[in-house]
Amino acid sequence: MTSEVNAQQAPSGVSATAETLKIGLVSISDRASSGVYQDQGLPALQEWFSKALTTPWTMETRLIPDERPAIEQALKELVDSCLCDLVITTGGTGPSRRDVTPEATLAVATKEMPGFGEQMRQISLQFVPTAILSRQVAVVRETASHAALILNLPGQPKSIKETLEGLKDADGKQLVSGIFAAVPYCIDLIGGPYIETNEAICKAFRPKSAVRPK
């Protein structure tokens, strides 16, 4: 099993604090993890978060094969030991025999969050009818003292971006909401840090009562 751990990533000029968001990024691919080709999932996620988040954040990354025990171990480690608030996987969500990311994710879950998977498929269906073959899920994993949101994303960089920020017209008007708009409030509800975003990329939605004054 190949594993990678990356150092801190934060907006330029912003120091990490107790409110720093910790993100675990997991790319799941037999061939990329064995060096057959270069992984594209982790760089795409890192680039997107560097543009989308305006609050401090750090990350832990993993590059692992399509093996259910390895995926479960990585997810548990990122939540229970690394104390990530948000864990995102990319790859391994199709119908083939080696695609076991959803099963591994559900195996470590405390609560399932089906709305995320439903919306991910709605976004992808704007482009390809085969989006109905995707089995992405989202869950919350809780321990005695910590909780994290875990999301399965598709494997292609273009699809990752579309899934997170949704679809906009030529004038920037939101046509289909991306899933990340709901992530900051979900993290609030499970006890994580307060997340703010670059609204040009993705506007976070919260009830008015949950919005902190700037």
CA distance 119 to 180: 11
Q: Can you state the angle between helices 157-165 and 41-52, rounded to 10 degrees? A: 30
> Tens of pLDDT along the chain (214 residues)?
444 433 334 444 333 445 899 999 999 988 888 787 888 999 999 999 999 999 999 999 999 999 999 999 999 999 999 999 999 999 999 999 999 999 999 999 999 999 999 999 999 998 889 999 999 999 999 999 999 999 999 988 999 999 999 988 888 788 888 999 999 999 999 999 999 999 999 999 999 999 998 7
C-beta of residue 26 within 8 angstroms of C-beta of residue 71: yes
Q: pTM (2 decimals)?
A: 0.90
Separation in Å, CA 151 to CA 15, 113, 169, 200, 207: 26, 9, 26, 22, 22
What's the pLDDT at 17?
47
At the topology level, CATH places domain 21-210 in Molybdenum Cofactor Biosythetic Enzyme; Chain A (3.40.980)
C-beta of residue 157 within 8 angstroms of C-beta of residue 163: no
Please state the domain extents for the chain: 21-210
CA distance 164 to 48: 9
